[in-house]
Chains A and B, each alone.
Chain A
Protein backbone atom coordinates (compact mmCIF):
# COMPACT_ATOMS: atom_id res chain seq x y z
CA UNK A 1 0.00 0.00 0.00
CA UNK A 2 1.63 3.20 -1.14
CA UNK A 3 1.08 6.23 1.12
CA UNK A 4 -2.00 8.13 0.09
CA UNK A 5 -1.29 11.58 1.49
CA UNK A 6 2.12 11.99 -0.13
CA UNK A 7 0.48 11.83 -3.56
CA UNK A 8 -1.84 14.66 -2.53
CA UNK A 9 1.06 16.75 -1.23
CA UNK A 10 2.97 16.20 -4.47
CA UNK A 11 -0.13 17.11 -6.49
CA UNK A 12 -0.64 20.36 -4.59
CA UNK A 13 3.04 21.25 -5.00
CA UNK A 14 2.89 20.57 -8.75
CA UNK A 15 -0.29 22.64 -9.08
CA UNK A 16 1.25 25.63 -7.30
CA UNK A 17 4.43 25.32 -9.36
CA UNK A 18 2.35 25.35 -12.52
CA UNK A 19 0.46 28.40 -11.30
CA UNK A 20 3.71 30.26 -10.58
CA UNK A 21 5.08 29.34 -14.02
CA UNK A 22 1.89 30.58 -15.72
CA UNK A 23 2.07 33.89 -13.86
CA UNK A 24 5.76 34.79 -13.98
CA UNK A 25 7.13 33.51 -17.30
CA UNK A 26 7.27 35.90 -20.25
CA UNK A 27 6.86 33.31 -22.98
CA UNK A 28 3.66 31.78 -24.33
CA UNK A 29 5.16 28.29 -24.56
CA UNK A 30 6.22 28.40 -20.93
CA UNK A 31 2.63 29.31 -20.04
CA UNK A 32 1.37 26.24 -21.91
CA UNK A 33 3.99 24.16 -20.10
CA UNK A 34 2.70 25.40 -16.75
CA UNK A 35 -0.88 24.52 -17.72
CA UNK A 36 0.23 20.97 -18.58
CA UNK A 37 1.82 20.73 -15.13
CA UNK A 38 -1.43 21.83 -13.46
CA UNK A 39 -3.45 19.28 -15.43
CA UNK A 40 -1.01 16.58 -14.38
CA UNK A 41 -1.46 17.55 -10.76
CA UNK A 42 -5.22 17.12 -11.10
CA UNK A 43 -4.70 13.72 -12.73
CA UNK A 44 -2.48 12.67 -9.84
CA UNK A 45 -5.27 13.62 -7.44
CA UNK A 46 -7.83 11.61 -9.41
CA UNK A 47 -5.63 8.51 -9.38
CA UNK A 48 -4.90 8.97 -5.66
CA UNK A 49 -8.58 9.30 -4.73
CA UNK A 50 -9.38 6.23 -6.82
CA UNK A 51 -7.75 4.20 -4.02
CA UNK A 52 -10.90 4.75 -1.97
CA UNK A 53 -12.95 2.61 -4.38
CA UNK A 54 -10.36 0.56 -6.24
CA UNK A 55 -12.86 -1.74 -7.93
CA UNK A 56 -14.95 1.06 -9.47
CA UNK A 57 -12.14 2.71 -11.49
CA UNK A 58 -14.04 5.97 -11.86
CA UNK A 59 -10.90 7.99 -11.08
CA UNK A 60 -8.85 6.22 -13.74
CA UNK A 61 -11.43 6.80 -16.45
CA UNK A 62 -11.85 10.44 -15.45
CA UNK A 63 -8.06 10.85 -15.63
CA UNK A 64 -8.18 9.37 -19.13
CA UNK A 65 -10.70 12.02 -20.24
CA UNK A 66 -8.61 14.76 -18.64
CA UNK A 67 -5.62 13.57 -20.71
CA UNK A 68 -7.73 13.69 -23.90
CA UNK A 69 -8.85 17.26 -23.20
CA UNK A 70 -5.24 18.23 -22.37
CA UNK A 71 -4.14 16.97 -25.79
CA UNK A 72 -6.78 19.12 -27.53
CA UNK A 73 -5.75 22.12 -25.45
CA UNK A 74 -2.06 21.68 -26.27
CA UNK A 75 -2.70 21.29 -30.00
CA UNK A 76 -4.95 24.32 -30.34
CA UNK A 77 -2.84 26.40 -27.94
CA UNK A 78 0.38 25.78 -29.82
CA UNK A 79 -1.36 26.49 -33.14
CA UNK A 80 -2.45 29.86 -31.73
CA UNK A 81 1.08 30.53 -30.43
CA UNK A 82 2.64 29.79 -33.82
CA UNK A 83 0.05 31.94 -35.60
CA UNK A 84 0.55 34.85 -33.20
CA UNK A 85 4.32 34.55 -33.54
CA UNK A 86 4.14 34.70 -37.33
CA UNK A 87 1.87 37.73 -37.17
CA UNK A 88 3.45 39.80 -34.39
CA UNK A 89 7.00 38.33 -34.48
CA UNK A 90 6.85 37.92 -30.72
CA UNK A 91 5.84 35.17 -28.33
CA UNK A 92 5.64 37.37 -25.25
CA UNK A 93 2.02 37.50 -24.07
CA UNK A 94 2.41 40.96 -22.50
CA UNK A 95 3.45 42.57 -25.78
CA UNK A 96 0.38 41.42 -27.68
CA UNK A 97 -2.24 43.94 -26.68
CA UNK A 98 -4.22 44.36 -29.87
CA UNK A 99 -7.38 42.57 -30.88
CA UNK A 100 -7.74 43.74 -34.49
CA UNK A 101 -6.81 41.00 -36.96
Chain B
Protein backbone atom coordinates (compact mmCIF):
# COMPACT_ATOMS: atom_id res chain seq x y z
CA UNK B 1 0.00 0.00 0.00
CA UNK B 2 1.68 3.18 -1.12
CA UNK B 3 1.14 6.72 0.05
CA UNK B 4 -1.46 7.55 -2.61
CA UNK B 5 -3.73 4.72 -1.52
CA UNK B 6 -3.37 5.68 2.13
CA UNK B 7 -4.47 9.24 1.29
CA UNK B 8 -7.27 7.85 -0.88
CA UNK B 9 -8.76 5.71 1.90
CA UNK B 10 -8.26 8.52 4.44
CA UNK B 11 -10.24 11.01 2.37
CA UNK B 12 -12.95 8.45 1.63
CA UNK B 13 -13.33 7.84 5.36
CA UNK B 14 -13.31 11.57 6.12
CA UNK B 15 -16.00 12.29 3.53
CA UNK B 16 -18.20 9.42 4.73
CA UNK B 17 -17.85 10.28 8.43
CA UNK B 18 -18.54 13.99 7.97
CA UNK B 19 -21.55 13.26 5.76
CA UNK B 20 -22.92 10.77 8.26
CA UNK B 21 -22.41 13.23 11.12
CA UNK B 22 -24.71 15.75 9.38
CA UNK B 23 -27.62 13.37 9.89
CA UNK B 24 -27.06 13.23 13.64
CA UNK B 25 -26.16 16.89 14.08
CA UNK B 26 -28.90 19.13 15.40
CA UNK B 27 -27.14 22.41 14.74
CA UNK B 28 -27.49 23.99 11.30
CA UNK B 29 -24.21 25.90 11.48
CA UNK B 30 -22.24 22.82 12.54
CA UNK B 31 -23.89 20.90 9.72
CA UNK B 32 -22.69 23.53 7.24
CA UNK B 33 -19.13 23.17 8.58
CA UNK B 34 -19.38 19.36 8.35
CA UNK B 35 -20.55 19.74 4.75
CA UNK B 36 -17.49 21.92 4.12
CA UNK B 37 -15.24 19.11 5.39
CA UNK B 38 -17.06 16.64 3.16
CA UNK B 39 -16.75 18.86 0.07
CA UNK B 40 -13.04 19.46 0.64
CA UNK B 41 -12.34 15.74 1.02
CA UNK B 42 -14.25 15.09 -2.20
CA UNK B 43 -12.04 17.71 -3.87
CA UNK B 44 -9.01 15.80 -2.60
CA UNK B 45 -10.46 12.60 -4.09
CA UNK B 46 -10.83 14.43 -7.43
CA UNK B 47 -7.15 15.37 -7.28
CA UNK B 48 -6.25 11.73 -6.61
CA UNK B 49 -8.31 10.65 -9.65
CA UNK B 50 -6.49 13.15 -11.88
CA UNK B 51 -9.47 15.51 -12.20
CA UNK B 52 -7.59 18.63 -11.16
CA UNK B 53 -9.83 21.09 -12.94
CA UNK B 54 -12.94 19.67 -11.28
CA UNK B 55 -11.15 19.75 -7.93
CA UNK B 56 -10.29 23.44 -8.27
CA UNK B 57 -13.84 24.21 -9.42
CA UNK B 58 -15.19 22.26 -6.45
CA UNK B 59 -13.08 24.25 -3.99
CA UNK B 60 -13.83 27.61 -5.63
CA UNK B 61 -17.56 27.18 -6.22
CA UNK B 62 -18.72 24.77 -3.53
CA UNK B 63 -16.43 25.59 -0.62
CA UNK B 64 -16.07 29.24 -1.54
CA UNK B 65 -19.47 30.07 -3.01
CA UNK B 66 -22.28 27.76 -2.02
CA UNK B 67 -21.13 27.32 1.57
CA UNK B 68 -20.92 31.11 2.02
CA UNK B 69 -24.43 31.48 0.57
CA UNK B 70 -25.73 28.75 2.90
CA UNK B 71 -24.14 30.41 5.93
CA UNK B 72 -25.68 33.73 4.83
CA UNK B 73 -29.02 31.94 4.66
CA UNK B 74 -28.54 30.52 8.15
CA UNK B 75 -27.74 33.95 9.55
CA UNK B 76 -30.72 35.54 7.80
CA UNK B 77 -33.27 32.94 8.90
CA UNK B 78 -32.34 32.57 12.56
CA UNK B 79 -33.31 35.01 15.19
CA UNK B 80 -30.07 36.31 16.67
CA UNK B 81 -30.68 35.34 20.26
CA UNK B 82 -27.37 33.86 21.33
CA UNK B 83 -28.24 30.20 21.51
CA UNK B 84 -27.64 27.84 18.64
CA UNK B 85 -30.53 26.96 16.37
CA UNK B 86 -31.56 23.37 16.92
CA UNK B 87 -33.34 21.34 14.28
CA UNK B 88 -35.89 18.71 15.14
CA UNK B 89 -36.20 15.54 13.13
CA UNK B 90 -39.39 14.29 11.61
CA UNK B 91 -40.34 11.20 9.58
CA UNK B 92 -37.37 9.36 11.07
CA UNK B 93 -38.81 5.93 10.33
CA UNK B 94 -39.69 6.53 6.68
CA UNK B 95 -36.46 8.43 6.07
CA UNK B 96 -34.38 5.63 7.55
CA UNK B 97 -36.27 3.03 5.53
CA UNK B 98 -35.78 4.99 2.29
CA UNK B 99 -32.08 5.63 2.90
CA UNK B 100 -31.16 2.15 4.08
CA UNK B 101 -33.25 0.51 1.34
CA UNK B 102 -31.66 2.53 -1.44
CA UNK B 103 -28.18 1.98 0.01
CA UNK B 104 -28.75 -1.79 0.19
CA UNK B 105 -29.99 -1.83 -3.39
CA UNK B 106 -27.03 0.17 -4.70
CA UNK B 107 -24.43 -1.81 -2.76
CA UNK B 108 -26.02 -5.06 -3.90
CA UNK B 109 -25.69 -4.21 -7.60
CA UNK B 110 -22.49 -2.15 -7.57
CA UNK B 111 -20.07 -5.12 -7.81
CA UNK B 112 -21.73 -6.10 -11.11
CA UNK B 113 -20.32 -2.99 -12.78
CA UNK B 114 -17.14 -3.96 -14.59
CA UNK B 115 -14.16 -1.95 -13.34
CA UNK B 116 -12.65 0.62 -15.62
CA UNK B 117 -9.98 -0.81 -17.86
CA UNK B 118 -6.69 0.27 -16.44
CA UNK B 119 -5.20 2.29 -19.22
CA UNK B 120 -2.70 3.74 -16.80
CA UNK B 121 -4.47 6.84 -15.59
CA UNK B 122 -2.34 9.76 -16.69
CA UNK B 123 -2.43 13.39 -15.59
CA UNK B 124 -4.46 15.20 -18.25
CA UNK B 125 -3.37 18.30 -20.03
CA UNK B 126 -5.76 20.90 -18.68
CA UNK B 127 -5.94 22.71 -22.03
CA UNK B 128 -7.94 19.76 -23.42
CA UNK B 129 -10.87 20.79 -21.21
CA UNK B 130 -10.71 24.35 -22.52
CA UNK B 131 -10.56 23.17 -26.13
CA UNK B 132 -13.53 20.85 -25.61
CA UNK B 133 -15.63 23.50 -23.85
CA UNK B 134 -15.13 25.99 -26.68
CA UNK B 135 -15.54 23.53 -29.56
CA UNK B 136 -17.68 20.46 -28.87
CA UNK B 137 -19.53 21.82 -25.84
CA UNK B 138 -19.87 25.47 -26.85
CA UNK B 139 -23.67 25.44 -27.04
CA UNK B 140 -24.17 23.91 -23.54
CA UNK B 141 -21.58 26.37 -22.26
CA UNK B 142 -23.55 29.35 -23.60
CA UNK B 143 -26.81 27.92 -22.25
CA UNK B 144 -25.18 27.44 -18.85
CA UNK B 145 -24.08 31.08 -18.89
CA UNK B 146 -27.63 32.17 -19.70
CA UNK B 147 -28.96 29.92 -16.92
CA UNK B 148 -26.58 31.54 -14.42
CA UNK B 149 -27.71 35.01 -15.47
CA UNK B 150 -31.39 34.09 -15.18
CA UNK B 151 -30.81 32.48 -11.76
CA UNK B 152 -28.98 35.57 -10.46
CA UNK B 153 -31.67 37.98 -11.68
CA UNK B 154 -34.39 35.65 -10.38
CA UNK B 155 -32.81 35.40 -6.92
CA UNK B 156 -32.48 39.19 -6.76
CA UNK B 157 -36.11 39.67 -7.80
CA UNK B 158 -37.41 37.05 -5.35
CA UNK B 159 -35.71 38.62 -2.34
CA UNK B 160 -36.70 42.20 -3.19
CA UNK B 161 -40.09 43.73 -2.30
CA UNK B 162 -40.18 41.93 1.04
CA UNK B 163 -43.38 42.28 2.99
CA UNK B 164 -44.35 40.52 6.16
CA UNK B 165 -47.55 38.61 6.73
CA UNK B 166 -47.70 39.17 10.47
Contacts and interface: CB of A to CB of B under 8 A. Distances in A.
A57 B16 CA distance: 26
A41 to B, nearest CB: 9
A2 B151 contact: no
Interface of B: 4-5, 8-9, 12, 15-16, 19-20, 22-23, 28, 31-32, 35, 38-39, 42, 45-46, 48-51, 53-54, 57-58, 61-62, 65-66, 69-70, 72-74, 76-77, 85, 87-92, 94-96, 98-100, 102-103, 106-107, 110-111, 113, 115-122, 124, 128-129, 132-133, 137, 140, 144, 147-148, 150-152, 154-156, 158-159, 162-166
16 contacts: A2-B48, A7-B49, A16-B99, A24-B91, A28-B77, A29-B28, A36-B62, A40-B42, A50-B49, A51-B116, A57-B128, A75-B155, A76-B154, A78-B69, A86-B163, A89-B166
Contact of B151 (A23, A76, A82): A76
Given A2-B5, A24-B96, A26-B89, 18 more contacts: A2-B121, A4-B115, A20-B98, A21-B23, A26-B90, A30-B28, A30-B31, A32-B73, A36-B70, A55-B124, A63-B54, A67-B54, A78-B72, A78-B155, A79-B155, A80-B158, A83-B159, A89-B165
B135 to A, nearest CB: 11
